[in-house]
């Protein structure tokens, strides 16, 4: 499963995550405060148990809050004091910095049906690769 396969679900606009703190803040302020599903991808497919994929995380929730929590270290200091934690944040930072991978995210708004779509995407991913996306393995 590649990120290009997600167009059928409405994932068409991808937003680049950069080292520029101010640009990331401006991007987050434009994100909706509505429930949806979001996907994080990297610039090149990575090997999985079966095949390869550029998708490293699939999640759901209020889009602005979840992306802000994930990108906390990529934001200017006053804006990063957001209290919400993201289960994949530390591993996301390591993957993107240590492996020098460019990352992007996309989202679709689904309101109360967000959990359903997240579950469907995770199921499809697991059927394709025999394992969840790498950063979805971080729940404690």
pLDDT at residue 80, as a whole number: 46
Distance CA 70, CA 54 (A): 18
**Helix/strand/coil for 33:** coil
Query: What ranges do the domains of the chain cover?
Result: 3-130
For range 108-118, the mean pLDDT = 95
Q: What is the pLDDT of residue 73?
A: 55
**Residue 76: predicted pLDDT:** 43
Give the per-residue pLDDT at 79.
46
Look at residue 139 and tell me whether its pLDDT is greater than 70.
no
Asked: is 3-130 a CATH 3.40.1440 domain? The reply is yes
pLDDT tens figures, 16-75: 887 777 787 888 889 999 999 999 999 989 999 999 999 999 999 999 888 888 776 554
Mean pLDDT throughout 126-135? Answer: 94
Per-residue pLDDT, 63: 92
């Amino acid at each position: 499963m590649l990120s290009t396969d997600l167009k059928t679900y409405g994932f068409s606009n991808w937003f680049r995550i950069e080292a520029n703190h101010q640009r990331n803040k401006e991007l987050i302020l434009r994100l909706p405060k509505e429930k949806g599903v979001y996907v994080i991808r990297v610039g090149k497919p990575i090997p999985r148990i079966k095949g390869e994929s550029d998708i490293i995380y699939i999640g759901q929730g209020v889009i602005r809050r979840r992306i802000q929590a994930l990108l906390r270290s990529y934001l200017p200091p006053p804006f990063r004091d957001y209290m919400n934690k993201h289960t994949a944040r530390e591993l996301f930072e390591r993957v993107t910095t240590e492996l020098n991978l460019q990352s992007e995210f996309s989202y679709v708004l689904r309101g109360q049906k967000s959990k359903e779509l997240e579950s469907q995407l995770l199921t499809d991913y697991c059927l394709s690769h025999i394992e969840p996306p790498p950063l979805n393995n971080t729940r404690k």
